[in-house]
């Protein structure tokens, strides 16, 4: 709540609590009614009403409110690193009287801001204060559950933080959050994925400099543990971890300034690993340590037919480090057994032994030895290599536990075992269960320098009958592991395209492949990247309209007769040369939201939209279609329809920018964000969409297919790729 310095009764609302005892003013009901008529009516016959009751009345009886000022939401949201575009602002008589009665300029509750007399929603200082409270309550764009509202103390930490944020925003101070999950970033900020890619390149360069010309940062457990820790976190969590990892990060005033601080911190850790073989102290959770001193009788590995035993090899290598839990879990089913005993060896000794074996990497028993030229973990080649070598661990697990076999000379490699390991790589990529692993004795199985294991391709997931192959269910890591991914990223990068576009492009290509189309990413890479850019942009355009627009009942017959007969700004814009709809208050139908969002994002031109609507009207007039919405469907459909199965955990999921309809567009159409929402009560996963419909209070809202299905009369739900050109 923004305090009014002229009053002593000041406080902020919180998200829950019971009514307090502080009263608005002494006196009887008549005095309250005379001064605050709308508030008195909302509270009923309460002579002892408190400021908490006033806040509760405003919250319980609030209307739809207005859309938060876009410039203010962008400025404050960028500073805090949160999306505030869904906040509603209330300036009706009840809101103003309740706020005045509380002795406040404004107050916030849930995703709503209530303004007092004379206050404006474009007042940057005031709104920065109130929007900070919205962010504190974790309710940006959400509707708070109606309950008794408690007005908090004026000197609470929440109030102090809101005051500080308002001062920072109005003075042009640096943003609170330097890393954000999605764009557009504010000055001084970076999108997390871009930040990590930039940081990783500089960290690797610094590590290579520390390790010298003989060795490589590839496979360094310090670097791999570091990026494995941060890549899966949200931007906010990642930034908090960075501050703990390198305390000097707290002094950074921009995301770019964080990078050299972190690089120096990593440099010290790499030096520690280089000099001792041990992970740095802050990574004590990483299993393993420095290679032990080789016993005098341990011989260097001489090749596939050398005389070294497993026991002597292990003495020379040292303990190595365990396979990380996520990798072991992912490979367990595909390899037919767990791999908890596998040890990965990197560093100078491992590099020398791999070089002597003329191998990028090799496996003996449970030991995976990585050469200096081994591809980086996390890359397509690196992940395929680890899966390949772990398959050899599974093959030799029994022999490795045999004390007699451990003292025998290591046997030569087996071509059949190599073939089985290659199949395990493909099985792992497809998440398919494998047959029992091929069993061998102790032998040196090499991944030679001229024979790298092949990773999965789009064809690996071509079977549409396997629910795990659904493009919307594949994880980002699975898509990154595709052989087509890195070439696509290399060919189509910044500033036009991001990694997210490449991930979506490959999902769109996989959908086409599963639907029987020929797909060649070498020849069609540009086409799929452009489609991904358009789909993602259309979804972003719709997201930018959340909280705005007004739903209008559609009548195709009236539009075909005279667009001016229907109170629909979108149709009048395209068919009657009227003004472009107002993003805040414009009137339109559900499918028109999808089209307008694409237009707002620059994905589709006004000329193209007008062509679609002129064709739609002609079809209605000649009886080809009964609804304009059907022409929207066939003109904007870029793939065959896919059925969304409510309540089925294995149902296909829509991709970002997919068009979703409830049987057909005349019933309802919306656009998918590509996100999922977990139901807090059932634990079920729901597909998120942007929709303009009557269940959304007749405004654009972020909701789910499941929520809309409750009022769709059991109609089948379909979705498909969009086509905007």
pLDDT digits (tens, 9 = 90+) for 195-220: 887 887 787 777 777 765 444 444 45
pLDDT of 289 reads 35
Indicate the helix (H) or strand (E) that contains 690: strand 685-692
Residue 144 lies in a domain: yes
Q: Is residue 524 part of a domain?
A: no
Distance CA 279, CA 344 (A): 13
pLDDT at 636: 95
**360-378: average pLDDT:** 81
Q: What pLDDT was estimated at residue 331?
A: 60
Does the pLDDT at position 161 exceed 60?
yes
**Any idea which of 34-48, 421-435, 528-542 has the lowest mean pLDDT?**
421-435
Hey, which residues does 551 pair with through a beta bridge? 588
Say yes or no to pLDDT of 352 above 80.
Answer: yes
The pLDDT assigned to 334 comes to 52
Between CA 615 and CA 254 the distance in angstroms is 51
**Domain final position from 152, 176, 200:** 176
Per the domain annotation, does 487 fall within a domain? no
Beta pairing partners, 445 = 363
**Are residues 655 and 571 part of one domain?**
yes
User: Is 60 exceeded by the pLDDT of residue 278?
Assistant: no
In the predicted model, is pLDDT for residue 708 greater than 60? yes
pLDDT above 80 for 236: no
Which residue would you say has higher pLDDT here, 658 or 255? Answer: 658
pTM for the full predicted model? 0.45
pLDDT value for 302: 33
Residue 419: half-sphere exposure toward Cβ, Cα within 13 Å: 3
Task: Tell me, yes or no, whether 222 and 355 share the same domain.
Answer: no
Does 332 lie in the same domain as 249?
A: no
Q: Are 720 and 658 in contact (CB under 8 A)?
A: yes
Q: With bands split at pLDDT 50, 70 and 90, how would you rate the model's confidence at 110?
A: confident
- Are 361 and 238 part of one and the same domain? no
Q: Does 554 lie in the same domain as 684? A: yes
* pLDDT top residue among 307 and 676: 676
Contact 531, 517 (CB under 8 A): no
| Domain contains 643 | yes
Q: Are 188 and 251 in contact (CB under 8 A)?
A: no
Domain count, the chain: 4
Average pLDDT (611-634) is: 92
pLDDT of residue 284: 42
Share of the chain above pLDDT 70, in %: 73
Q: Do 110 and 196 have their domain in common?
A: no
State whether 141 and 250 are in the same domain: no
611-639 burial by CB neighbour count: b if 16+ within 10 A, else e?
Answer: ebbebbbebbeeeebebbbbbbbebbbbb
Q: What is the 3-state secondary structure (H, E, C) of 207-229?
A: HHHHHCCCCCCCCCHHHHHHHHH
Lowest mean pLDDT among 135-139, 422-426, 468-472, 511-515: 422-426
Q: For residue 152, give both structure tokens.
A: 């908090």
Whether 530 is covered by a domain: the verdict is no
Among positive and negative, which fits the CA dihedral 227, 229, 235, 237?
negative
| Maximum CA extent, the chain | 103
Q: What is the pLDDT of residues 624-669, one digit of tens each?
A: 888 999 999 999 999 999 999 998 999 999 999 999 999 999 999 9
Whether the CB-CB separation of 55 and 98 falls below 8 Å is answered with yes
Q: What does the pLDDT read at residue 472?
A: 95
Residues 567 and 431 in one domain: no
Last residue of a domain, one of 394, 422, 448: 448
Same domain, 610 and 710: yes
Residue 103 is encoded by which pair of tokens? Answer: 């002795």
Give the mean pLDDT of the chain. Answer: 77
In a domain, 101, yes or no: yes
Instruction: Tell me: do 252 and 341 sit in the same domain.
Output: no
Query: Can you give the residue range of the structural domain that contains 220?
Result: 190-283
Do 316 and 351 lie in one domain? The reply is: yes
**Residue 664 phi/psi, 5° resolution?**
-155, 165
- Specify if 624 maps to a domain: yes
Residue 649 forms part of a structural domain? yes
Instruction: Confirm if 396 and 365 have CB atoms less than 8 A apart.
Output: yes
Q: Which helix (H) or strand (E) holds 180?
A: strand 179-180
Residue at a domain's end among 236, 264, 283: 283
**What does the alpha-carbon distance between residue 130 and residue 122 come to, in Å, rounded to a whole number?**
12
In this structure, the answer to whether residues 321 and 427 fall within a common structural domain is yes
State residue 391's pLDDT score: 80
**Which value, to the nearest 10 degrees, does the dihedral of the CA atoms of residues 535, 538, 540, 542 take?**
-140
Tell me the mean pLDDT in the region 536-555.
92
Residue whose structure tokens are 């046997």: 411
User: 67-106: buried (b, 16+ CB within 10 Å) or exposed (e) per residue?
Assistant: bbbbebbbbbbbbbbbbbbbbbbbbbebbbbbbbbbbbbb
pLDDT at position 506 is 96
């Amino acid at each position: 709540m923004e305090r009014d310095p002229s009053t002593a009764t000041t406080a902020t609302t919180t998200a829950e609590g019971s009514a307090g005892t502080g009263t608005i003013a002494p006196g009887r009901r008549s005095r309250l009614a005379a001064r605050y008529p709308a508030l008195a009516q909302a509270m009923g016959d309460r002579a002892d009403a408190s400021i908490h009751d006033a806040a509760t009345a405003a919250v319980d009886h609030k209307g739809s409110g207005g859309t938060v000022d876009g410039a203010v939401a962008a400025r404050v949201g960028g500073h805090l690193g949160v999306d505030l575009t869904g906040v509603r602002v209330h300036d009706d008589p009840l809101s103003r009287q309740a706020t005045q009665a509380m002795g406040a300029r404004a107050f916030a509750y849930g995703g709503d801001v209530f303004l007092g007399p004379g206050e404006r929603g474009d007042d940057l200082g005031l709104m920065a204060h109130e929007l900070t409270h919205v962010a504190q309550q974790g309710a940006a764009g959400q509707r708070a559950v109606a309950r008794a509202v408690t007005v908090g103390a004026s000197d609470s930490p929440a109030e102090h933080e809101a005051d500080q944020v308002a001062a920072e925003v109005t003075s042009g101070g640096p943003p609170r959050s330097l890393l954000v999950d999605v764009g557009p970033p504010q000055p001084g900020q970076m999108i997390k994925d871009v930040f990590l890619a930039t940081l990783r390149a500089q960290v690797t360069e610094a590590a290579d400099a520390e390790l010298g010309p003989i060795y490589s940062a590839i496979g360094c457990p310090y670097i791999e543990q570091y990026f494995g820790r941060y890549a899966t976190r949200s931007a906010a969590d990642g930034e908090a971890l960075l501050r703990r990892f390198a305390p000097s990060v707290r002094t950074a005033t921009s995301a770019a300034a964080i990078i050299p601080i972190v690089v120096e911190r990593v440099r010290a850790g790499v030096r520690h690993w280089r000099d001792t073989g041990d992970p740095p102290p802050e990574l004590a959770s990483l299993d393993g340590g420095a290679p032990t001193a080789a016993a005098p009788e341990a011989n260097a590995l001489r090749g596939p037919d050398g005389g070294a035993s497993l026991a002597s090899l292990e003495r020379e290598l040292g303990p190595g480090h365990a396979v990380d839990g996520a990798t072991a879990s992912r490979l367990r089913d595909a390899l037919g057994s767990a791999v908890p005993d596998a040890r990965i060896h990197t560093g100078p000794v491992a590099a020398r032994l791999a070089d002597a074996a003329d191998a990028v990497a090799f496996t003996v028993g449970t030991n995976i030895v990585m050469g200096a030229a081994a591809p980086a973990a996390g890359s397509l080649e690196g992940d395929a290599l680890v899966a390949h070598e772990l398959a050899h661990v599974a093959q030799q697990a029994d022999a490795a536990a045999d004390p007699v076999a451990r003292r025998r000379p290591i046997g030569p490699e087996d071509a059949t075992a190599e073939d089985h390991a290659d199949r395990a790589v493909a099985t792992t990529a497809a998440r398919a269960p494998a047959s029992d692993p091929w069993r061998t004795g102790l032998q040196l199985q090499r991944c030679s320098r001229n024979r790298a294991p092949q990773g999965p391709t789009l064809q690996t997931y071509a079977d549409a009958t396997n629910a795990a192959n659904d493009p919307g269910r594949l994880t980002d890591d699975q898509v990154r592991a595709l052989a087509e991914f890195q070439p696509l990223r290399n060919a189509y990068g910044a500033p036009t395209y991001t990694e997210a576009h490449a991930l979506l492009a490959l999902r769109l290509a996989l959908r086409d492949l599963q639907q029987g189309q020929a797909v060649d990413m070498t020849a069609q890479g540009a086409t799929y990247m452009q489609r991904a850019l358009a789909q993602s942009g259309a979804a972003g355009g719709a997201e930018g309209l959340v909280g705005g627009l007004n739903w209008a009942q559609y009548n195709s017959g009236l539009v075909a007769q005279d667009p001016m007969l229907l109170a629909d700004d979108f149709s009048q814009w395209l068919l009657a040369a009227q003004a472009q709809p107002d993003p805040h208050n414009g009137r339109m139908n559900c499918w028109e939201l999808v089209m307008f969002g694409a237009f707002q994002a620059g994905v589709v031109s006004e000329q193209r939209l007008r062509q679609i609507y002129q064709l739609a009207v002609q079809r209605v007039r000649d009886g080809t279609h009964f609804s304009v919405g059907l022409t929207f469907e066939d003109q904007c459909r870029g793939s065959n329809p896919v059925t969304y199965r409510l309540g089925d955990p294995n149902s296909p999921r829509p991709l970002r920018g997919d068009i979703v309809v409830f049987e057909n567009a005349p019933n309802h159409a919306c656009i998918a964000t590509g996100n999922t929402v977990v139901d807090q009560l059932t634990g079920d996963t729901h597909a998120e969409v942007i929709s303009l419909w009557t269940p959304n209070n007749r405004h654009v809202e972020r909701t789910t297919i499941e929520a809309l299905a409750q009022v769709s009369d059991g109609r089948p739900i379909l979705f498909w790729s969009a086509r905007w050109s």
